[in-house]
Structure 1
Amino acid sequence: MEQIAYARGLRRTQTRAGAKLWSVLRRRQLNGWKFRRQCPIDRYVADFVCIEANLIVEVDGATHSTMQECERDAVRTRTLESCGFAILRDTNAEIAENLDGVRETILAAVERRLSV
């Protein structure tokens, strides 16, 4: 239950990049694929999830470039992959500068996951 409350809080205080990406993923705008935001999975809260494709999209800010954060991200990725998900990481800068490219990359990843 604690994780659900945490996820709800994250939805209310989303980052600018997260809000921008959510604007193109919500309401099945990505070729009809349903995404959830701030979705609890295992002991983590994933930024965006397409359950049908078992795909998680993570939005990484500047703090994800430190050695400590990279190590945490690696553990997080292994845990989420062990739950059957593929992880796609995009940076705040990528979303701000090339939202169409990020959208196309996510769409390609969804389609690739479903064609396997």
Structure 2
Amino acid sequence: MVSPAIRRAVAKKLRANTTPHERILWRALKELPIEGTHFRRQAPIGPYVVDFFCPAKRLIVELDGGHHNEDATAQRDNERQAWLEKEGYRVIRFWNSDVTGDLNAVMERVYAEVHGALDADALPLRRHRRG
């Protein structure tokens, strides 16, 4: 298993080198109603680094480019997603073209995953301080 220090360094490097599609989605995620929707980007979870992560809802948002259509990459994505779901996380995936083509639909899906429905009120997030 890769050490936590290495995973954090990889995540930091990925945050510094985001794609244009990731930047668009990140700006949109930051504009969600704050209650319960704090997202982290390029967050290390277990042996992986995920694109976007909402810890309060254990929700992972993955953004995939065209190379994710390749058989080997798709297989790794499936194994990764299975591991994350086995650990209790929910994973939703979008294509880069979804972000550029219909960002509103992407954000509606994220909102529904976080709050349970599009017409649901955002509930206050209870923050837990680390000791």
Matched, 1:56 2:60: yes
TM-score (norm 2): 0.82
Matched, 1:78 2:82: yes
Q: State the SS of the aligned residue for 2:63.
A: strand
Q: State the SS of the aligned residue for 1:10.
A: helix
> Could you tell me the percent identity over the aligned residues?
36
The structure whose residues are more often helix, as a share, is 1
Summarize deviations over 1:23-66 as a string: whole Å, max 9, x none. Answer: 0112xx21211000000000000000011111000000000011
> Unaligned regions of 5+ residues in structure 1, if any?
none
After TM superposition, the runs of 4+ consecutive aligned structure 1 residues lying more than 3 A away are none
> Unaligned regions of 5+ residues in structure 2, if any?
118-131
Q: Which residue of 1 aligns with 2:108?
A: 104
Q: Which residue of 2 aligns with 1:43?
A: 47
TM-score (norm 1): 0.92
Q: Which residue of 2 aligns with 1:8?
A: 12
- Corresponding pairs, count: 111
Residue number among 65, 70, 73 corresponding to 1:69 in the alignment: 73
